Amino acid sequence: MKNRLLPKKAVIPLAIVTANAMIIHAIYSLIISPADDLQGDAVRLLYVHVPAAWLAYVSFGVTTICSILYLIPKTRNRAYDLLAGASARAGVIFCGLTLLLGALWGKPIWGVFWTWDARVTATAVLFFLYVGYLAIRSISPTEQAKKRNAWFALFAFIDVPIVHFSVNWWRTLHQEATVLNPNLKAEISGTMATSLWAGVIAFSFLYVLMVDRQFHRDSILEQNALNDLDSQINERIKQAEQLSGAPK
């Protein structure tokens, strides 16, 4: 099995594209896009907060799909398990960034860094669910453990639609979805929309780089662990053969 998702020669060009996308996003978010009439300059935090939340959804979605594929005997492959873990790690970073920026935005808008709002609380639960998922992945590398990890990933993903639709299901302080709303009508336009989409594109490139790097690292670590295990087994076999052949 290959230990990379991307061809090695594609990593540096993608990193350059990602850096340029980040710069363009920063220029639009901080300079070109105007302050909001109600939120003022605090709206600029949302140009990172929202893309981070979307990429958290994508990350956990990829983890879920890979977990399903790993649980199906006909499609079970070590690569799906590794990709599930790599994507979940990226998702935890994006989800943590979402919570941090939400708190920084909440202070000037709501007057507090934290409130037990349905969307905020569900997002915090999502973050800790996937932190727990990453923790149990480190317990054991056996196939049975990997199946257990996959089932836990499916359970954790239940919270994703709860997070997204919480603003529609309950009365919350959090504003309703601006783009992915029930009416499927974006309530943002002009340079503000450009800033938002520039963030989504830049973070998408960053996500691919992060997952490729983590997949590569985890693949090497797992292969080294398997090689060490094989060496230990062979050493034990040699010791057993020497003992069995020793004079009594």
Residue ranges per structural domain of the chain: 15-216
pLDDT in tens, 62-83: 999 999 999 999 999 999 999 9
What is the pLDDT, as a whole number, of residue 175? 67
pLDDT-based confidence at residue 15 (cuts at 50, 70, 90)? very high
Q: Domain 15-216, CATH 1.20.120 — does that match? A: yes
Angle at 163 between CA 95 and CA 43, to 5 degrees: 65
**Strand ranges inside the chain, DSSP E:** none
The three-state secondary structure class of 36 is: strand
State mean pLDDT over 137-160.
92
Residue of higher predicted confidence among 104 and 234: 104
pLDDT at 171 over 90: no
Chain mean pLDDT for the chain: 87
